[in-house]
Structure 1
Amino acid sequence: MARLKNLFGPAVLMAAGLGVVGVAGYGFIGLTGHTLPAADAAALASLYLLVNIIGPGLFVALEQETSRATSARLAVGGELRPVVRHALLHGLIMLVAVLALLGAISPVLTARALGGQWGLFAAVVLSVVTSAGVYLVRGLLGGRQRFHGYAATLGVEGVARLLPCAVIAVSGPDGVLYALAFAAGSGFGALAGLPGLRARTVVDVHLPGEGGEPEASTFGSMGRGLLLLVVGTLLMQLVANLAPIVVTSRLVSDPTTAQAFASAFVLVRVPLFLFAPVQAMLLPGITRAATTGDTATVWARLRLVLLAVAGIGVPAAVLSFTVGPLAARVFFGAEVDLAGAVVGLLGVGTIALMVAQVLQPGLVAFGRHRYVTAAWVLGAVVLVGLLFLPGDPLRAAIAAQLAASVAVVVVMAVGLFRAIRGGTLATPPAVPVGG
């Protein structure tokens, strides 16, 4: 195992783990689509979307705030038990709130989105519990910069989803079994990350005047940050995914063009998906630097990752302009070739969202959660306002996607510039108490 860790760095393992999760997702949709009746496959597709909204849309905020609080506590030599305790409590509060909401809307949700199958609703409930667990574990692992353990949660989650679904497909397709297997995968991912949390990172002994923080202060600051990040991540999902849904609704008379646009949209998002681990890997290091006032290190790390964004995003955007329409037809079966400019401009929007993925951890590290929320609020307002402009739905969607993404980046950049120039945390994660 040690030789494997030395051979493959954390970034490679993180990317590989994320790739396994992605393959499992596409495999789930493919297997259910090919082995179940159309109505059941549609219900399973709705479940897939719900699971992804609940995970990346809600509990990733718990991961980010837990990672920030963990990194900040380690930077000042404090013990982690209060952070773990408060993260668990906040996770439990989120879990209860989401379950209560699902319970309230369960009749409508089950009837309209899940084909009237209560077994699928049970799988959604299971996914809420397992998502809460895996994102909490990832937050604790990321905050300690234990990325091999983090990568293990990704890889095991994907394998635990894909293999049971393959067995079900061969032994006798059943929609509810598919759903339960997919939902349980996150739970196995959480279990895979637990060994990485066993070794102690710091000695649980307070030195006078160092690393102390009142319990209420830690709990309250984490709660405020978590609430702001939940709003921000939900709106991020809106900005990232709403356009093809609206285009499809506006092109009822031209479904082939709508399908081609949706295919191109998914295609140009591939770099964004592959770049997703950057937040988990970037946040702990810059949080420690921000906590100790080392703004030079913060800027150096952000600049390096932004250069990586340019190195990945610019070639991807060029490919979107040149071969994007062909790729959409070959890989997704699009029956209409969109103009290269349409796909290319969507690729440019993806670059902006990748930049936002880099800037957001910087804001969280400095405690500027409000800028994160404000950026996504503005982006959502711009997106919705432009999506429904009269005229060509494709032009409206492209304009909306570009303008919204740029608006998000501008707000985040302004907030981060002010944070780095000030060099202090807006809400310090540790308040020394005299001893």
Structure 2
Amino acid sequence: MTSDPTASTPDPRGSAPPPRDAGTRSLGRVTIATLIAAASGYLVLLLAARHLGAVGYGVFAVFWAAYGLVTGAQNGQLQETTRAVRAAADAPSRSHPVLVNAGIGVGLAVLVAASSPLWGGQVFSSERGLSVVLLAVGVASFAVYAHLCGALSGMLSWSSFALLLSVDALIRLAGAVVAVAAGWGTTAFLVITVIGSVSWCVLLLVSPAARAALGVGGDVPAGRLTANTLTAMAAAAASAVLVMGFPVLINLTANLRGAPDADEARVIGALILAVTLTRAPLLVPLNSFQGVLISRFVDRRHRPFAALAAPLGVVGIIGGLGMVAAWMVGPWLLRTVFGADFDLDGLVVALLTGGATGLALLTVTGAAAIAAGAHRWYAAGWWVATIVAVAMLLLPAGVEVRTCVALILGPVAGLGVHLLGVLRRGPGPRATPV
């Protein structure tokens, strides 16, 4: 690995970011890093499913989802840091985002540990103590990771940003390969889930731009930045419930009807895997490109709907093609690659892909709302989507029907809220496009 050659020495006050990377070339690096992250995620899931079996995979997937639920909320740190740093590119520093983000990370870790007696037994069926400790340590580390992702995005330092994404994914994949080769069980995969978040340590050693990002300033005072970040995290928490925490919801709502029998437990395990797999092609790249999207929308805030058209169109087309492919070959792929336990109807896999497309569209409109400064509308859109989805999971129907309906209607409701928020906010001051 090499240092980012485009980085420069930071302003002594920590307010002036280094010059932006070259657009097409550097964004190409982000695309490659995103592909690495997506492929690594698929391989970790494949290794876990084949090595642990449906029951063991269910335990691992619930912890994976719980970790994703909390760190997904921390994506609000990434989002607000990107906005604050990008908006402050030509303005004096008024806060130090790294201090705000580190403080939030420590507070969140303490909250996880202190509250665990209230929920640990309901969420984690085994390795409860270790799961809580790993979760707390992981979210504290992820706070620094989120800060670096957001600051590098706001600085337009895409080379270092791409390196951070790649290292995070490859650390986790390497751990999974070692675990399978050594014959380790579910416990090892719980540890593997959180080890990628230490990638920021590696990046600080090799990238001057990353070290500069620790001192870069924000456009608003610390109190306002903290409030904005917590609002963004509240919305991102709802996003995380639908994106990473949805397997937990499937489990909880199924258990409300009584302990599932062996066949229903198999279906739930297969659904959890299918939900994860159908989302990855769209949501993994979009999560990696959130900083890119927010920077784009900030620089084009004088024409928000024109800026939205291209990303929404691309996501819609890819999602539509994905639904057709999922219907035709999805069940065969699940059985062939992961085993006979993972058997679902083609229509179910296609509808899950449609739900993933809705979530991807909601992610794009959420980035536009953040860039427009419509933090409350951003939060409202995700919470409306989450509430609608949870309500659908409680319908008196089979688990496959409930899951598909929840994943489609929830995002549709939230999408309308986001678009209304961007419309009410109106055009912002003209900025120079990237």
Q: TM-score, normalised by structure 2?
A: 0.78
Query: Could you tell me how far apart the structure 1 residues matched to 2:197 and 2:405 are?
Result: 36
Q: Would the alpha carbon gap of residues 20 and 136 (structure 1) be closer, same or farther in structure 2, given more than 3 Å must change?
A: farther
- Taking structure 1 as reference, are residues 269 and 52 closer, same or farther at Cα in structure 2, changes over 3 Å only? same
1:288-317 residue CA offsets vs partner (Å, 9 max, x unmatched): 332xxx32xx44432111121123111001
- Note if 1:148 corresponds to 2:159: yes
The 1-side partners of 2:234 and 2:82 are apart by 18
Match of 2:75 in 1: 60
Residues in 1 aligned to 2:399 and 2:315: alpha-carbon distance in whole angstroms: 29
Residue of structure 2 in register with 1:13 after alignment = 32
Contact 2:74–2:236 (8 Å) recurs in 1:
no
C-alpha deviations, 1:239-273, integer Å up to 9, x for none? 33256436754592442444443343333223333
Q: Distance in 1 between matches of 2:121 and 2:111?
A: 15
Number of the residue aligned with 1:134: 145
SS at match of 1:66: helix
Aligned runs of 1:399-414 on 2, under 5 Å?
399-414=405-420
Equivalent of residue 424 in structure 1, options 421, 424, 428: 428
Counterpart in 1 of 2:21?
none
Structure 1 residues 388 and 13: alpha-carbon distance in aligned structure 2, compared to 1, 3 A threshold: same
Distance (Å, rounded) in 2 between the aligned partners of 1:322 and 1:116: 39
Deviation at 1:184, TM superposition (A): 3.4
Deviation string 1:48-95 (CA, Å, 9 cap, x unpaired) is: 333322322x22111111011001111xx1245x44x13422431342
Report the structure number with the largest CA radius of gyration.
Answer: 1
Structure 2 unaligned spans of 5+:
6-23, 430-434
Q: In the alignment, is the contact (CA less than 8 A) between 1:137 and 1:193 conserved in 2?
A: no
Query: Quick check: 1:373 aligned with 2:389?
Result: no
Q: More displaced, 263-272 or 133-142?
A: 263-272
Q: Which residue of 1 aligns with 2:15?
A: none
Which SS does the other structure have where 2:413 is aligned?
A: helix
Conserved in 1, the CA contact under 8 Å of 2:282 and 2:356?
yes
Q: Pick closer, same or farther for the CA change 1:198–1:239 going to 2, 3 Å.
A: closer
Indicate the residue corresponding to 1:428 in structure 2: none
Q: Report the equivalent of 1:273.
A: 283
Q: State the secondary structure of the residue aligned to 2:300.
A: helix
SS of corresponding position for 2:396: coil
Q: Distance in 1 between matches of 2:250 and 2:119?
A: 24
Q: In the alignment, is residue 188 of structure 1 matched against residue 199 of structure 2?
A: yes
**Structure 2 residue 213 is the aligned partner of structure 1 residue 197:** no
Q: How far off is 1:328 after superposition?
A: 2.9
Cα shift at 1:47: 4.0
Structure 1 position 198, deviation (Å) = 5.5
Q: CA deviation at 1:409?
A: 0.8
Post-superposition Cα deviations, 1:75-116, rounded to whole Å, max 9, x if no partner, equal: xx1245x44x13422431342233243134269738972735
> Does structure 1 conserve the Cα–Cα contact (< 8 Å) formed by 2:369 and 2:422?
yes
Query: What amino acid sits opposite 2:77 in the alignment?
Result: L
2:91 matched to which residue of 1? 78
The residue aligned with 2:234 is 231
Identical columns (%): 21
2:310 maps to what in 1?
304
* Alpha-carbon shift at residue 375 of structure 1 (Å): 1.0
1:296-375 alignment to 2 at 5 Å? 298-335=304-341, 338-375=344-381
221, 224, 230: which one pairs with 2:224?
221
Range 396-405 or range 259-268, more displaced:
259-268
Q: TM-score, normalised by structure 1?
A: 0.78
Coordinate RMSD, CA, aligned: 3.7
**Equivalent position of 1:252 in the other structure:** 260
Query: What is the CA distance between 1:31 and its match in structure 2?
Result: 8.3
The DSSP-based 3-state class of the residue aligned with 2:221 is helix
Describe the superposition over 1:121-147 as per-residue Cα deviations: whole angstroms up to 9, x where unpaired.
443333122211111111111111222
SS in 2 for 1:252: coil
Is 375-384 or 45-54 further displaced after alignment?
45-54
- AA of the residue aligned to 1:54: V
| Contact 1:29-1:45 at 8 Å conserved across structures | no
Alpha-carbon displacement from aligned partner over 1:197-219 (angstroms, at most 9, x marks no partner): 25879xx9xxxxxx996xxx522
Cα distance in 2 for residues equivalent to 1:164 and 1:326: 28
1:264 matches 2:280: no
Q: Distance in 2 between matches of 1:219 and 1:95?
A: 17
Q: How does 1:60-139 map to 2 (within 5 A)?
A: 60-74=75-89, 77-80=90-93, 82-83=94-95, 85-105=96-116, 109=120, 113=124, 115-116=126-127, 118-139=129-150
Look up the equivalent residue of 1:149 and give its one-letter code.
S
